[in-house]
Amino acid sequence: MAALIDHAILKPELTDAEVDADLDLAARWGIFSVCVRPSDIPRSVARLAGTPVATGTVIGFPHGSTSTAAKVAEARRALDDGAAELDMVQHVGRLRSGDVAAVEDDIAAVVAVAEGRVVKVILETAFLTDDEVVAASKAAERAGASFVKTSTGFAGGGATVHHLRLMRGAVSPAVRIKASGGVRGLDTLLEMRAIGVDRFGTSATDVILSDVQRLVETGATSGETDASSY
């Protein structure tokens, strides 16, 4: 279960001490990665050295409306600082304007500078119609993205099963799905995992994995779902 989680450390008000505490939590659980603010990448890489936890960051966050050149420069600096994965926000306004080609080009430019590293495209599904969710997912795949991701967690809406099903159906098996925003409990994670979600962005890592640990230790199940099967 820990290998499914990207622990989010993105709130703008976090102090250095609070960031360090979250990094230590990630190391303690041995999760897949943390997703930190761009300015915290060097701190994260240094503090997590010797652990299996990767450092990821965000690009064009949280609105996605910076220029493509700015996103490329931000991505290049993040990679130079040691980021292993990039979660970029698509240009939501362009997508809603129907300019899918511009959205695709924007993503492709970041994918190119990533040079094979994982790029996740945040759709910000709370702002989109179903048709726009599908169009954005397909554009991300054409642009070479590794993942499509639901949300920043800063737009007043998070991941829903409905949107995740749309995303999973819109892209090929080569593109993975990340649910982010509102994933705060084990039951929610298991429900989303069952429909094909590959990674979860959450700040509730300790709560979720503590629940998993209790289930393992007691041999119990969460609702009707056996956590051991995931």
Q: What's the distance, Cα to Cα, between the start and end of the chain in Å?
A: 7
Residue by residue, DSSP assigns 26-84 as: HHHHT-SEEEE-GGGHHHHHHHTTTSS-EEEEEESTTT--S-HHHHHHHHHHHHHTT-S
Residue 149 annotated among the catalytic residues of the structure: yes
The single residue of 6, 87, 106, 211 carrying the catalytic annotation is: 87
31 vs 170: CA distance, rounded Å: 28
The single residue of 40, 120, 178, 211 carrying the catalytic annotation is: 178
* Token pair listed for 150: 């639901």
Beta bridge partners of 155: none
Residue 87 annotated among the catalytic residues of the structure: yes
* Token pair listed for 46: 């240094």
The single residue of 6, 138, 149, 211 carrying the catalytic annotation is: 149
CB neighbourhood size of 104 (10 A) = 23
Residues noted as catalytic? 87, 149, 178
